[in-house]
Amino acid sequence: MKTVAIGGENVAALGQGTWMMGERQDLRASEIAALRAGVELGLTLIDTAEMYGDGAAETLIGEALGPIRDQVFLVSKAYPQNASRGRLPAACEASLRRLGTDRLDLYLLHWRGSVPLHETVEAMEALKSAGKIRHWGVSNLDADDMAELVEAGGGACTTDQILYNLWRRGPEHDLLPWLGERGISVMAYSPVEQGRLLADKTLGRIAATIGATPSQVALAWVMRSKGVIAIPKAGTVAHVHENRAAADLVLSADDLAALDAAFPRPRGRRPLEML
Ligand code: NAP
């Protein structure tokens, strides 16, 4: 499995998202089986958030992992309103309880809110010192916010989790180079645009010429750059298996050129988009 460094540690470049998981009883068994199959296949980074199903996704992950928790690099995210010195410890503790673990491998600020960044940095560092989290990072922060974060003492930030896929190439203009230069890993969320990208006819045509599925091409494309992790959410074992093959798919220069022609690079700066 291709890896990406987070805080000097190598983690799987293909992980598993969990937004919308744990919310429907009829899908529960399939979602648990998918997460477990993913870990077995090497998709050992799992991303979640206190927001997802109001804790239901974290509870599902806790149930799915049980004794295999130590094989996983577990990522969760705090609401911006909880990212203060006073509130972050309790939010983290609640996530740990739902996940059935004693530490998070990575804790992210879900998006920027009104708590000053320097206060969030302090709160994250305190959790790290207490052994509750191993690394911390952010999500949905654009290049200007990232520069401000570093100015605010956030030099230990390891990751920016952002919307990035073939339809959303804006970050290539300035944010990805900025992060790359500083060794801050990128976690690309909604890498198949919540499933909508998979119906794109042009992507379908290109995938057919490569002998791969649209999902495999979309994910391999996201992971083509050093330092970028893709975290697709797959609720079935079949989708997990299909996606796993993307980590071994190397796109040729011709494949990349065809994708560039169909999904052009940004010509100028575009504000970071969010889903
Ligand atoms: P996504 O991963 O782009 O798409 C998920 C959808 O694609 C699901 O409906 C899934 O269906 C389908 N899918 C996955 N693999 C497939 C395959 N091989 N064939 C056909 N369909 C497939 O969207 P996402 O869930 O929004 O993003 C991924 C993760 O990123 C989230 O789960 C979450 O952990 C994180 N995220 C973070 C933020 C943030 O603000 N930081 C925002 C959005 C997402 P099935 O469920 O049926 O498999």
Going residue by residue through the chain (275 aa), what tens digit of pLDDT does each one get?
999 999 999 999 999 999 999 999 999 999 999 999 999 999 999 999 999 999 999 999 999 999 999 999 999 999 999 999 999 999 999 999 999 999 999 999 999 999 999 999 999 999 999 999 999 999 999 999 999 999 999 999 999 999 999 999 999 999 999 999 999 999 999 999 999 999 999 999 999 999 999 999 999 999 999 999 999 999 999 999 999 999 999 999 999 999 999 999 999 999 999 99
What is each CA distance from 271 to 9, 106, 142, 143, 274, in whole angstroms? Answer: 30, 26, 7, 9, 10
**Pocket residues: Cβ below 6 A from ligand 1:** 17-19, 47, 110, 139-140, 161, 189-195, 198, 215, 231-236, 239, 242-243, 275
Using a 10 angstrom Cβ sphere, with 0-12 exposed, 13-18 middle and 19 or more buried, the burial of residue 271 is exposed
Q: Is residue 47 part of a domain?
A: yes
- Evaluate whether 114 touches 144 at the Cβ level (below 8 Å): no
Strand pairing class (9-12; 3-6): antiparallel
Q: Whose CA is nearest to atom 38 of ligand 1?
A: 189
For helices 143-151 and 117-129, the axis angle rounded to 10 degrees is 60
Model pLDDT, residue 118: 98
CATH of the domain at 67: 3.20.20.100
Q: Is residue 273 part of a domain?
A: no
Q: Is residue 241 part of a domain?
A: yes
Strand partners, 74: 46
46 CA to centre of ligand 1 in angstroms = 12
- Evaluate whether 48 touches 77 at the Cβ level (below 8 Å): yes
Q: Is residue 274 part of a domain?
A: no
Q: Is residue 255 part of a domain?
A: yes
Model pLDDT, residue 94: 98
Look up 52 and say whether it is catalytic.
Answer: yes
Q: Is residue 93 part of a domain?
A: yes
Model pLDDT, residue 81: 98
Q: Is residue 115 part of a domain?
A: yes
- Taking the C-alpha atoms of residue 223 and residue 77, their distance in angstroms, rounded to an integer, is 22
Ligand 1 pocket test: pick from 19, 26, 27 the residue with the most ligand atoms within 8 Å of its Cβ: 19
Q: Whose CA is nearest to atom 14 of ligand 1?
A: 234
Model pLDDT, residue 273: 97
- Taking the C-alpha atoms of residue 217 and residue 10, their distance in angstroms, rounded to an integer, is 23
Print the domain residue range for 58: 3-262
Ligand 1 pocket test: pick from 24, 185, 190, 219 the residue with the most ligand atoms within 8 Å of its Cβ: 190
131 CA to centre of ligand 1 in angstroms = 30
Number of domains in the chain: 1
pTM: predicted TM-score of the whole model, two decimal places: 0.98
Model pLDDT, residue 205: 97
- Evaluate whether 197 touches 166 at the Cβ level (below 8 Å): yes
Model pLDDT, residue 246: 98
Catalytic residue among 52, 107, 164, 189: 52
Strand pairing class (45-47; 106-109): unpaired
Edge-to-edge strand order for the sheet containing 159-163?
A: 45-47, 73-78, 106-109, 136-139, 159-163, 185-189, 228-230
87 CA to centre of ligand 1 in angstroms = 29
Ligand 1 pocket test: pick from 28, 112, 160, 189 the residue with the most ligand atoms within 8 Å of its Cβ: 189
CB proximity list for 163: less than 8 A, separation 6 or greater: 140, 188, 189, 190, 272, 273, 274, 275
Q: Is residue 269 part of a domain?
A: no
What dihedral angle (degrees, nearest 10) is formed by the CA atoms of 87, 90, 94, 96? 110
